[in-house]
């Protein structure tokens, strides 16, 4: 019998942000495709813009706008009240309160709710746990990165996160590093499971670099790629600062965000603007081509869970230059896969960029390593855990 799962997540594409958090949507879709899961997805978004943290994955800073559902009728975009200055601490309660009637209508309409699966720990996971307790069903919470790496620095948020860590029926983290932090926050270790996202090996694969460079009009002796939202904690500014000491490197920035104008100004100030291309938020097909035509992926993040861009780059046969944070060293466990940096300072990045051309990278070996992270294994383990809960 199929499981009836309510996925509760602020990390989900919408009509206004079609390229946002595709890995969550894919993880859910692949679970449904097995035939073992019947899913409904609730995507909370706030009415008001919150003051404070500007992380791209923070659902509490959405701008006030009308969000329209995708074509899938099983996805409900749920507005909730976000109060400026208080949203960082109160969003979980507002999410739960505003969603309760929606779930009542869903159940009254014939959906037999077996469990709730939150795809982000805070505030989503706290709200999902409140709803699960109200409706008398188990709750699974997934920790992905900033939800555990960032929010516990705030005392009131940490109290809520610790309560959810202690109380959730099961917890999934995308890296071992996150699992250790969740246990430190109060979770029982036997309830915490490390299950990374997967990578679509049919989409992300090596291709002819020269043909792709000609198609997109990209030139340079070395193409370095950054994929991610343009926000301070992703560290793209440090990669730009490394370019004066890495002559010949052309930087491609895929993603949009509040740092775009400051980054453009920085590149102009440093005299490297001709070697920096801002591509904005791109469809998956273009992101795929950018991996395939580049010579390395650069990640200078201050904090991470286990970013999917890392797996996508490796599946494309691309070596990675990355700051050793979060779950990144768990994946980059061999020098044949890239260069791990002890810090994300521009000088360190520049040295690595100068080193990349001197190494004979084996694209096939890099790709084989990425294929260990298959979606089929991820979804199989997800479903096994959910079945154990019901």
CA angle 148, 62, 254 (to 5 degrees): 75
* Mean pLDDT on 110-138: 95
* Mean pLDDT on 301-324: 94
Given a cut of 70, whether residue 138 has pLDDT beyond it is yes
From 290, 325, 272, select the one nearest 212 (Cα to Cα): 290
* Mean pLDDT on 84-92: 72
- What pLDDT sits at residue 193? 97
* Mean pLDDT on 89-118: 91
The Cα 332–Cα 287 span in angstroms is: 21
- What pLDDT sits at residue 348? 97
CATH of region 209-370, choose from 3.30.450.20, 3.40.50.970, 3.40.50.2000, 3.50.50.60: 3.40.50.2000
Given a cut of 60, whether residue 58 has pLDDT beyond it is no
- What pLDDT sits at residue 273? 96
Query: Which two three-digit tokens encode residue 278?
Result: 């801002």
Question: How sure is the predictor about 266, in pLDDT bands with cuts at 50, 70 and 90?
Answer: very high
* Mean pLDDT on 196-203: 92
Among all chains, which residue has been given the structure tokens 């001709």? 274
* Mean pLDDT on 233-252: 96
* Mean pLDDT on 139-160: 91
Given a cut of 50, whether residue 56 has pLDDT beyond it is no
| More confident: 227 or 248 | 227
| More confident: 224 or 1 | 224
Given a cut of 80, whether residue 51 has pLDDT beyond it is no
Question: How sure is the predictor about 89, in pLDDT bands with cuts at 50, 70 and 90?
Answer: confident
Question: How sure is the predictor about 125, in pLDDT bands with cuts at 50, 70 and 90?
Answer: very high
Return the domain boundaries, the chain: 3-198+374-389, 209-370
pLDDT more than 70, % of the chain: 92
- What pLDDT sits at residue 13? 86
Which range is least confidently modeled, 43-47, 61-65, 181-185, 314-318? 61-65
Question: How sure is the predictor about 173, in pLDDT bands with cuts at 50, 70 and 90?
Answer: very high
- What pLDDT sits at residue 84? 62
Question: How sure is the predictor about 35, in pLDDT bands with cuts at 50, 70 and 90?
Answer: very high
Give the CA distances from residue 8 to residues 127, 223, 279, in Å, rounded to whole numbers and listed in that order.
9, 38, 31
- What pLDDT sits at residue 85? 59
* Mean pLDDT on 176-184: 95
Given a cut of 60, whether residue 60 has pLDDT beyond it is no
Topology alike, domains 3-198+374-389 and 209-370: yes
Q: Which CATH superfamily is domain 3-198+374-389 in?
A: Glycogen Phosphorylase B; (3.40.50.2000)
Question: What value does the mean pLDDT of the chain take?
Answer: 89
- What pLDDT sits at residue 68? 40
* Mean pLDDT on 40-65: 53
3: left (phi over 0), alpha (psi -120 to 50) or beta: beta
Q: What is the biggest distance separating any 2 CA atoms in the chain, rounded to whole angstroms? A: 64
């Amino acid at each position: 019998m199929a499981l009836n799962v309510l996925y509760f997540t602020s990390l989900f594409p919408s009509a206004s942000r079609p390229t946002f958090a595709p890995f969550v949507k894919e993880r859910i879709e692949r679970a449904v495709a097995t035939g073992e899961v019947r899913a409904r997805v609730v995507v909370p978004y706030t009415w008001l813009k919150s003051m404070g943290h500007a992380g791209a994955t923070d659902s509490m800073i959405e701008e006030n706008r009308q969000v329209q559902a995708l074509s899938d009728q099983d996805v409900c975009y749920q507005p909730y009240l976000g109060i400026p200055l208080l949203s960082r601490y109160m969003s979980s309660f507002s999410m739960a309160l505003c969603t309760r009637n929606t779930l009542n209508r869903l159940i009254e309409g014939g959906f037999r709710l077996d469990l709730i699966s939150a795809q982000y720990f805070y505030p989503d996971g706290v709200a999902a746990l409140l709803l699960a307790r109200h409706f008398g069903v188990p709750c699974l919470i997934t920790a992905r990165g900033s939800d555990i790496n960032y929010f516990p620095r705030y005392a009131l948020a940490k109290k809520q996160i610790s309560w959810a860590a202690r109380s959730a029926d099961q917890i999934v983290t995308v890296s071992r590093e996150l699992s250790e932090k969740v246990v430190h926050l109060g979770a029982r270790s036997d309830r915490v499971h490390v299950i990374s996202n997967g990578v679509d090996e049919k989409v992300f694969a090596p291709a002819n670099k020269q043909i792709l460079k000609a198609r997109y009009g990209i030139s340079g002796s070395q193409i370095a790629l950054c994929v991610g939202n343009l926000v301070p904690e992703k560290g793209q500014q440090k990669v730009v600062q490394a370019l004066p000491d890495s002559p010949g490197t052309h930087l491609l920035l895929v993603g949009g965000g509040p740092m775009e104008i400051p980054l453009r100004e920085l590149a102009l100030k440093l005299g490297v603007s001709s070697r920096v291309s801002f591509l904005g938020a791109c469809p998956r097909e273009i992101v795929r081509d950018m991996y395939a035509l580049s010579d390395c992926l650069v990640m200078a993040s201050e904090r991470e869970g286990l970013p999917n861009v890392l797996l996508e780059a490796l599946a494309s046969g691309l070596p990675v230059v990355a700051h050793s944070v979060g779950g990144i060293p768990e994946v980059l466990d061999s020098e044949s896969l890239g260069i791990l940096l002890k810090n994300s300072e521009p000088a360190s990045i520049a040295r690595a960029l100068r080193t990349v051309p001197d190494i004979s990278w084996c694209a096939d070996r890099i790709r084989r390593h990425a294929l260990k992270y298959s979606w089929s294994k991820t979804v199989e383990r997800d479903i096994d855990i959910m079945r154990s809960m019901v």
